[in-house]
């Protein structure tokens, strides 16, 4: 069974960090795709981005998240796919300053 066979509540139960609704454009590159996508929600552990791009589960991407406080650049893995709608990403190696920025932004939401 793959992650896209599981109901969304199963994904939420596996999350280590609570997601906060945040709509912002992010830039992604990897898995033979480059683009801009809007987010639905975010945490210090990952985000959901709306995209019709075909990004296979397990693909590695570089994500740039532009905040007023500065850009956060982080590597991410496609944790699950919702074909034609978007993907859930899990951050890998989020730098400490990036984590601090995300925490401050999410605390204001």
pLDDT of res. 17: 74
Cα distance between residue 25 and residue 93, in whole Å = 21
Q: Per residue in 34-78, pLDDT tens?
A: 999 999 999 999 999 999 999 999 999 999 999 999 999 999 999
Whether domain 21-108 has CATH 3.40.50.800: the reply is no
> Could you tell me the two tokens for 20?
């906060």
Instruction: Give the global pTM.
Output: 0.84
Which pLDDT score, from 0 to 100, does residue 7 have? 46
pLDDT at 6: 44
Compute the distance between CA of residue 19 and CA of residue 2 in angstroms, rounded to an integer. Answer: 22
Chain CA centroid to CA 89, Å? 4
What pLDDT shows up at residue 9?
A: 44
Q: What is the pLDDT of residues 5-35, one digit of tens each?
A: 444 444 445 556 788 999 999 999 999 999 9
Q: How far apart are CA 63 and CA 35, in angstroms?
A: 10
- Model confidence at 4: pLDDT above 90: no
Element holding 40 (H helix, E strand): strand 33-43
């Amino acid at each position: 069974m793959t992650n896209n066979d599981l109901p969304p509540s199963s994904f939420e139960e596996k999350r280590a960090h609570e997601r906060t609704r945040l709509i912002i454009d992010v830039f992604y590159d990897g898995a033979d795709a480059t683009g801009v996508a809007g987010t639905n929600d975010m945490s210090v552990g990952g985000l959901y981005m709306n995209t019709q791009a075909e990004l296979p589960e397990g693909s590695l991407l570089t994500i740039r998240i532009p905040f007023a406080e500065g850009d956060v650049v982080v590597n991410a893995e496609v944790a699950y796919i919702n074909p034609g709608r978007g993907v859930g990403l899990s951050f890998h190696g989020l730098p400490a300053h990036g984590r601090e920025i995300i925490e401050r932004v999410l605390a204001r939401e």
